[in-house]
Amino acid sequence: MSKLNDLAVKTATNYGGESAALDPASIGAFIEILIGIVSLFQGCKQTPAQAVASARNPGLFQRLRLRNHLRNSMSTRDWRVHGEAILDAVYKTGQNTSTADWEALYQEV
């Protein structure tokens, strides 16, 4: 299993429990979200170590960029219903990542 898929399953579990982690459609959606997040970190020229620090304690600017990315990747209705919960699940998953995880994600994306 790839690191991207593994983190998507963890994010889905943080979002909706085991039932969300087993749903292929939700895993695909979380993979797309994570690809966008990794692209944001790469676009800011952050090293994996800096990405770990930002993921564990995101600042205001980082939170705004993540929120904006999620809002752009979801419909308005989906954002209103699920947006905040998905954002919280992404933050919770990001707090448990390591430098090795980010290095693998950088290579995959």
- With CA atoms as reference, report the closest residue to 40 among 69, 4, 11, 9: 69
12-19 contact pairs (CB < 8 A, 24+): 12/89, 14/88, 14/89, 14/92, 14/93, 15/85, 15/86, 15/88, 15/89
Dihedral, CA of residue 13, residue 18, residue 23 and residue 25, to nearest 10: -20
Q: Is the pLDDT of residue 107 over 60?
A: yes
Across residues 75-79, what is the average pLDDT?
84
- List pLDDT tens digits, range 4-52: 888 888 888 888 766 655 677 777 888 888 888 888 888 888 888 898 8
CA angle, corner 34, sides to 33 and 37, nearest 5?
90
- List pLDDT tens digits, range 54-65: 888 888 988 898
Q: What is the pTM of this model?
A: 0.80
Q: Is the pLDDT of residue 92 over 80?
A: yes
Kindly state the helix (H) or strand (E) to which residue 47 belongs, with its residue range.
none
